[in-house]
Amino acid sequence: MSQTLQTQSDKRLWVLVSSLKENTTQEDLERITPQVRNLVDSWYSHGRFVWSGALDNNKTGLAIFEASENEALQLLEEHKHASFDVLDSYLYQWDAMPFLSLLN
Q: How many residues does the chain have?
A: 104
Cα torsion 71, 72, 74, 79: sign: positive
Query: How many structural domains comprise the chain?
Result: 1
Tell me, what's the pLDDT at 64?
Answer: 93
Does residue 2 surpass a pLDDT of 70?
A: no
pLDDT in tens, 22-78: 999 999 999 999 999 999 899 889 888 888 888 888 899 999 999 999 999 999 999
Q: Where residue 21 sits, what CATH number does that domain have? A: 3.30.70.1060
**pTM, 2 dp:** 0.79
Residue 48 domain boundaries:
2-101
> CA nearest 52: which of 83, 12, 41?
41
Amino acid code (one letter) for 53:
G
Distance in angstroms (rounded) separating the CA atoms of residues 101 and 7: 23
